[in-house]
Amino acid sequence: MDSTVPKGQTALLIVDVQNDFCAADGKMAGFGVDLSTIDPAVDRIERLATSARRSGVPVIFIRLVTMPETDSKALLALYARQGIGPEGAAVCRKDTAGADYYRVFPQPGDRIVDKQRYSGFADTNLQLMLSAAGIVSLVVTGVTTECCVDSTVRDGFMRDYEVFVASDACAAYEPDLHEASLKSLGLNFATLLTTEEVLAGWEKAD
């Protein structure tokens, strides 16, 4: 398998690395999820972001920012059928600490995309941003693997971007969901690489 990620015309996407999803005092921790996979993945995201900036690869932070008036009716209905109240959707609320970045922060020259649905492409300016920069391939990282990372990867592929997933720079709260999502993405939508393989590819391109 060719593990070389092109440096030119490639962007690094960092999906939903935010307090509510990642921090010990965030909403998901309050729901009782296992956060043990998060920090190792964020360590690798930090390395990828540093290398991308050094190599001239655009870094794009995609974050969830929600408000009660724009909560998904479909999501609320799904939660209701599962016995979950509307508070389940009250994650990464606008102007709260939960919506803030976790450990990895945008630097000068990085780009930011705010979203209100799982995919970074859903009703955002992400595709316009990528098109304006001449981007044709994406390296995707973030949380959670089976939800917002997965949705963003699939939408990127459907828009004819070549997609690479840094498999160890993504995380889910349940290992089986992480592995199942990667298996599906690797079969149909993306090339799966480790962080070391991405970094080696960029260094090789220097």
Structural tokens at position 147: 């939800």
DSSP string, 181-197: HHHHHHHHT-EEE-HHH
Active-site entry in 92, 147, 148, 170: 148
What are the structure tokens assigned to 139, written together?
């390296």
Please pick, among 16, 20, 155, 168, the residue that the annotation labels catalytic: 16
Q: Is 170 tagged catalytic? A: no
Active site residue 148: yes
Comparing CA positions, the residue from 76, 78, 96, 98 lying closest to residue 86 is 76
Q: Confirm whether 16 is a catalytic residue.
A: yes
Residue 145: alpha-carbon gap to chain centroid:
8
Q: Which residues contact 153 (CB under 8 A, 6 or more apart)?
A: 140, 163, 165, 185, 189, 190
Catalytic, out of 115, 150, 155, 168: 115
Residues marked active site are found at 16, 115, 148
